[in-house]
Amino acid sequence: MKKIVMEITYGLCAGMVFLIFYLFLDISLIFSIIIALLVYIGMNLLFTSGRKTLIVENTNLTIEEFKKIIKDGKEKIEKIKGIGREIKNKDVSISIEKICKVMDAIFDNFEKNPNDIKLARKFLDYYLDTVKRIVELYYELSGKEVYTDKEREILEKAQGILNQIETIFQKQLGKLQEGDYLDLETELEVLETTMKMEGI
């Protein structure tokens, strides 16, 4: 619809140019038509080229900036995968691997649906960093031979949070693909509150 409106606007501008040249400047009919056509083509090229640099209408993101967001997210996921492989607790390691697979799928969805960029940024700026921090914390503490009671408690909480993240992300991937963003936001906010309460 917006494209049709833009085409009509270009046509009107070209028509006005034709009238100015033909009626007011007394330029020949053929020459006036040629100039009007050039104006129409020029506006199409100018504004279409400009739109191609934007990944989503009404945003200031270029394609390069959008790709960087996706690239940064996937790089963080790869780092989390690498740490997860080093964790000796197989259950936790497998859980981290599953979380990473879901996060990969979520970012694949962002690539296919750039309009989800707001949610993509939230994943990149908060949830990916949070998962990475929890995984790093678990890896650091689990590498010790002797734990204090506090460290053992933190490990148990971290494992519980990772299990919760895996469950929520698995369930919400389908909702994200269906465009059910409101429910996704709600679940993620609950997860965020839980982590704060657990002190993770």
Residue 114 is given by DSSP the state G
pLDDT (tens digit, 9 = 90+) per residue, 25-57?
A: 778 888 778 887 887 787 776 665 444 455 555
- Would you state the torsion angle of the CA atoms of residues 70, 71, 77, 79, taken in this order, to the nearest 10 degrees? -160
**Cα radius of gyration (the chain):** 27
pLDDT band at residue 91, thresholds of 50, 70 and 90? very high
The confidence band for 168, taking pLDDT boundaries of 50, 70 and 90, is confident
Q: Which of 30, 10, 8 is nearest to 21 (CA)?
A: 30
Cβ–Cβ under 8 Å, residues 184 and 127: no
Q: What is the pLDDT of residue 199?
A: 64
pLDDT tens digits, one per residue of 95-146: 999 999 998 988 888 788 777 666 666 666 777 888 898 999 999 999 888 8
The helix/strand/coil state of 74 is helix
Chain centre distance of CA 37: 40
* CA dihedral angle for residue 154, residue 157, residue 163, residue 169, rounded to 10 degrees: -90
Tokens 């657990």 sit at which residue? 198
DSSP β-bridge partners for residue 123: none
Q: Which two tokens stand for residue 125?
A: 């700026």
- Where exactly are the structural domains of the chain? 2-52, 63-198
pTM equals 0.63
Contact 76, 142 (CB under 8 A): no
Closest-CA residue to 169 (of 116, 128, 113): 128
Phi, psi of 187 (to 5 degrees): -65, -40
